[in-house]
Amino acid sequence: MQTVLRGIAAGISVWTCLVGVSATSAQQNASRTVGDSASVARELDMVYASFRNAYARLDPAAVAGLYTNDALYLAGESEVRRGRAAIRAVFDEFFSSVQRDNARLELRFRILRRAIAPRLATDVGYYHLVRVRGGARGKPSVGRFVTVLREETDGKWRFSVDSYTDAAAEEYEQAPSREP
């Protein structure tokens, strides 16, 4: 029962954040239009490229810098992490374990659907993560994700909501191959 209640509470938190983000974006940028959606899509793809590169370097500061100060991070069955500092702590711990194992990470994404609005974008897709130690590749970790990215006042797009759950490797392999 507690798991169900936590799930409901997490869902309400995400919904509240999305409504707040949408309202704030609309108020702050009523005169701004999406403009060149292809240009915005390239900017969003660059966020994912930066994410992949930070994973390859095992750089928790770089990953945390891709999140807004008030971001929500919902990782599977874990508690909701709120804010850049809490999210940084997750990656500090994860990347430290990879470093202790003398391994590296290879991360890929596949975007199934992207919606772009003024200063706000939502992506739905899959991730594929492999831990590589020496020449040996570990079993891939595959999952589904939903992200909300927000264009901040400095003009940079950052994750405002990042939620993921596990998926079967077959789902990733069968998904359209649109990789950012």
- Indicate the domain borders of the chain: 2-174
Distance CA 22, CA 10 (A): 18
30, 22 in Cβ contact below 8 A?
A: no
Q: Is 126 exposed, middle or buried (0-12, 13-18, 19+ CB in 10 A)?
A: buried
Distance CA 16, CA 80 (A): 13
Helix (H, G, I), strand (E, B) or coil at 176: coil
At the top level of CATH, the class of 2-174 is: alpha beta
Do strands 67-75 and 157-166 pair parallel, antiparallel, or not at all (unpaired)? Answer: parallel
Average pLDDT over the chain, rounded to whole?
86
Distance CA 56, CA 77 (A): 25
pLDDT band at 169 (very low <50, low <70, confident <90, very high): very high
- Global pTM exceeds 0.75: yes
pLDDT band at 35 (very low <50, low <70, confident <90, very high): low
Distance CA 72, CA 87 (A): 8
Give residues with Cβ within 8 angstroms of 65, minimum separation 6: 84, 158
DSSP state at residue 155: S
Longest dimension (CA), the chain: 53
Task: Choose the weakest-confidence range: 11-25, 32-46, 159-173.
Answer: 11-25
Identify the pLDDT of residue 147.
98
Per residue in 53-101, pLDDT (tens digit) is: 999 999 999 999 999 999 999 998 889 999 999 999 999 999 999 999 9
Distance CA 53, CA 62 (A): 9
